[in-house]
Amino acid sequence: MRTALTLALAISMSAAAASAWAEDAKAPTPVGTTQDCKNPDALGVERVVQIDTTGAPGFGFQNFKAYDFLKDHEVVLTFDDGPWPGNTERVLKALADQCTKAMFFPIGKHAGWHPEILKKDIAAGMTVGSHTWSHKDLTKMTFDEAKTEVEMGIAAVSIASGNRPVAPFFRFPALRMPPEILKYLASRNIAIFSTDWDTFDFKLRRPEQVLRSVQKRLTKHGKGIILMHDFQHATSEAVPEILKWLKQNKFKIVQVVGKTPVEPLPEYKKMVIKEIGGGLASARPMSSVVKTISGPSAN
C-alpha cells in the first residue's frame, strides 16, 4: 500500500539527476549510464528513486511493510557479499551490457582485500551501501560488538572506494536484526534494506537454477526488491540471462540512491586500517601495479 506524504522517500528523477550526488561526492564520472548506452535493446533504468534516510526507514517486505514504492513490473536488483574477483566483475559487465544499475552491499573485509573491484562498482554508477565488517550474526553479540561490525563495514567501504562517503543503505547479515542496532542506525540516518524476495542463490550451484529462482518469484509476484550475491559464482554467470529475461518479460529496473551519504567515523577508519594494513588507503589500482606480461591473459 502506498502511504502518505510523510514518507521519507520516493522522488522519481532522471538518470542525469541521479549522478548529481555522485558529483557532490567527487566520484569518478559514472560510465555506462543510460545516456551513453550503446545497446539499443538494453534493459536500461526505468527510473531512479532517491531516499531520504532520516530516521532509518526500512525496505523489503520480508521485514518492512511501510514503503511500497515499486509499481507493477518494477524491480530493484541487489547484490551482497562482494567484492570478489571474477564474480563481481562478471556481474558488473552484465549490468553494463544492459546499461542498467543495481545496489551492492559489500562485506567490509572483502572491500579491504579487493578495493580495486569496489572502485569498479562505484565507477559504474552502482549504489554501494554496506553489510558489516565480517558478516557475523549481529544478534549473537553485544551492542558494542555489533556497532563495531556496522561501523567498520561502513569505514572499510569508504576507505576502499577512495575515502568517499558511503551510500546510506545497510543490509544485516542473514537479515538478522537486533532491535538496538535498528535504533542505532536510526541515529545514523542509514536506511535498512531487507528484501522482498530472497533467491537463495547461495544454495544453488548452477546458473540455470539461479535464473529459475528469479523467474519463479517475479512471475508469481510481479515486482520486487531481489536479493542475490555477486560473491556467488553461479549467480555471476546467471546475471546476463536474468537481465535478458527481465527485458523480454517487460520488467523495468528501478535504481535506488540516497539523498545524503553517510560519513564513516574516524575511530572505526583507524581500526580498519590497522586490520587491513596502512597501504589500503593509498593503494593504486591493482592493474597499475601488477600486470600479466606473459601467459594467456597477457596484454
Contact footprint for Zn ion (CB under 5 A): 80-81
Q: Which is nearer to Zn ion, 81 or 237 (CB)?
A: 81
Whether the upstream peptide bond of residue 83 has omega within 30° of 0, thus cis, is yes
**How is residue 57 written as a grid cell?**
526507514
Residue nearest to Zn ion (CB): 80
Q: Which is nearer to Zn ion, 129 or 261 (CB)?
A: 129
Return the biggest CA–CA distance within the chain: 61
Query: What CA–CA distances, in Å, run from 166 to 83, 194, 220, 265, 268?
Result: 15, 18, 34, 11, 14
Q: Which is nearer to Zn ion, 81 or 151 (CB)?
A: 81
Q: Which is nearer to Zn ion, 153 or 165 (CB)?
A: 153
Report the candidate in 127, 129, 20, 7 with the shortest Cα–Cα distance to residue 69: 7
How many H-runs (helices) and E-runs (strands) does the chain carry? 11, 11
Following DSSP, what letter does each residue of 44-83 receive, concatenated? --SEEEEE--TT--EE-TTT--S---PPTTEEEEEEES--
